Structure 1
Amino acid sequence: MSTEAVKLKGTAFHLANFVDYSDDSVVSKTLLKKTTGNITLFAFDTGQGLSEHTAPFDAVVFILDGQARITIGGSPQNVGDGEMLIMPANISHALHAEKRFKMLLVMIRGD
């Protein structure tokens, strides 16, 4: 967990302002990391993404800013500001920024 995130414990903050875009990059900030799961902020610049992969547990994506193209099991969909998507365990998924976006990713390990 970043030192910056530790300092914010117990203090309200605006998620979208806590991670900045960087040209031609994906920026991530771990807010919470436990054996039971992680909470991570991401900022994707245009053209960036995460390649197709699977995870052994469900993952929740909440779009804070912009719009993501998220493909689950070969089916792409656009997810935008204020929308949430649950990516099911053991199904391939990928994310792509046709234009820049920020997201909160929540992964909880277990059944």
Structure 2
Amino acid sequence: MKTLIKNIEFSKVINLKNLISYQEAQVISRTIAQTPTVSISLFSLDKGEGISTHVTPGDAMVQVLDGEAEITIDNNIFNVKAGETIIMPSNVPHGLEARVRFQMLLTVIKG
């Protein structure tokens, strides 16, 4: 049987924040699922690190697990923190910078 979810234990209660560590001056990612239409990844960013402005072919949902980041969507700036979620629409430029150490679960859905 082929599983679609990887890099995570099945049938076990977990805390997503514990699945990815912080590394000084780095952006770390861990893919949880990757199909032609869905991508789910965990990210941790050290303070001051970022993901440069880019465009994706799918809608992207950021669920903030820890810390705080500044997310720019089409020249609009949003400050998001642990417990908050924001949607970045497809084909619209977006990027982010960690204000403090920052973890997120990123889900991208392509049509």
- TM-score normalised according to structure 1 size: 0.90
Look up the match of 2:7: 5
Name the amino acid aligned to 1:37. V
Tell me, what secondary structure is at the counterpart of 2:106?
strand
What is the percent sequence identity of the aligned residues? 42
Spell out, residue by residue over 1:16-42, the C-alpha distance to the aligned partner (whole angstroms, 9 max, x if none).
Answer: 111000000000000111122111000
2:99 paired with 1:98? yes
Tell me, what secondary structure is at the counterpart of 2:67?
strand
* In 1: Cα distance, 2:57 partner to 2:50 partner: 20
Name the amino acid aligned to 2:7. A
Look up the match of 2:82: 81
2:28 paired with 1:27? yes
Give the unaligned 5+ runs of structure 2.
1-5
RMSD across aligned C-alpha pairs, in angstroms? 1.2
Runs of 4 or more above 6 Å deviation: none
Name the amino acid aligned to 1:97. A
Look up the match of 2:58: 57
Spell out, residue by residue over 1:42-92, the C-alpha distance to the aligned partner (whole angstroms, 9 max, x if none).
Answer: 000011000011111100000000001000001111000100000011110
* In 2: Cα distance, 1:108 partner to 1:12 partner: 25
* In 2: Cα distance, 1:35 partner to 1:90 partner: 17
Look up the match of 2:46: 45
Give the unaligned 5+ runs of structure 1.
none
* In 1: Cα distance, 2:36 partner to 2:13 partner: 24
